[in-house]
Structure 1
């Protein structure tokens, strides 16, 4: 299992480097999704499957949709038809597809019958515990993060609108 954890961590590091080095924002978002999925696999291997599912749902799901929406709204670069043709080329999605396949194979192996007996932590965190934490003690932090995301979205819309007005 240690080798699988190191492989998942390696995929996460490689994908994170690819996020930083990509010039096309959509390609960087694809690699960011792979990074988040690889981190979720590491969490599953550590026995924190609930945290892994939260990461997949919240970050790889909702936040990535927000990122793609902002990228589409800003509409930077070349015209739509040329940009879509570039995105559909195999070299654009080959890297994220290979890294995601490695991560998915690891996850299937860990959840399958070959992984051996599953060890459970003595004090598992339940969905109820997370709900009480987020909307009890940390409700102010959750609301501040939601306002921060809203401010980022409004700022991106304003920047995109002002750039469209200058063209």
Structure 2
């Protein structure tokens, strides 16, 4: 089995996404977990691009890594009521902790530049590019069950967030 450059980028982006997802899960500070999860979503965007779905890659960056994660970050940071948290966290966290995220981000950026340069050169002509129309047709015909399941899961998360965030009464 020979590995062409696109397979190498695919596996590297997959490993990147797995590592950053594991970092997101294991962080005790929710802000750092969310920032690692943003890196994981960017890795998934590279995977979509390599697989021939640039539209899905753009949606991944714009919708998930952009809008939703920024919203989560704002909510988490707004719920932080302690005014001295920044000073306390600065004393807890050494500056060397940023080395791993910087190296992972640089590796992902290098992969993306490599894929874009080789894609523009015509090296990816054997790959099939999926159009936005094909994505929509697939989502709302054969995969409608998965779309509905995802919408129910999001609704359950919304109800759970409301339940956990509602003000408590004296009798509760």
TM-score, normalising length from structure 2? 0.70
- Give the 3 Å change call, closer, same or farther, for CA 132–115 of structure 1 in structure 2: closer
- Root-mean-square deviation (Å): 3.5
Gaps (5+ residues) in structure 2?
none
> Which position in structure 2 is the counterpart of 1:25?
30
Cα deviation for residue 109 of structure 1 reads 2.2
Q: Which has the larger helix fraction?
A: 1
Farther-moved stretch of structure 1 (1-10 vs 27-36): 1-10
How many residues are aligned here? Answer: 162
Q: Counterparts of 2:29 and 2:142 in 1: how far apart (Å)?
A: 40
Q: Distance in 2 between matches of 1:147 and 1:157?
A: 15
Shift of 1:114: 9.0
Q: Is the 8 A contact 1:47 1:120 kept in 2?
A: no
Q: Structure 1 residue 29: deviation in Å? A: 0.9
Answer yes or no: is the 8 Å Cα contact 1:34–1:100 preserved in 2.
yes
Q: CA deviation at 1:155?
A: 2.1
Map of 2:83 onto structure 1: 81
**8 Å Cα contact 1:40/1:53 also seen in 2:** yes
Instruction: Name 1:157's counterpart in structure 2.
Output: 162
Mapped pair 1:43 → 2:48:
yes
Unpaired runs of 5+ residues, structure 1, are none
Return the structure number with greater relative CO, CA threshold 8 A, min gap 6.
1
**Distance in 2, Cα, partners of 1:102 & 1:141:** 32
Contact 1:30–1:96 under 8 Å retained in 2: no
| Structure 1 residue 142: Cα displacement | 3.3
1:33 shift after superposition: 1.0
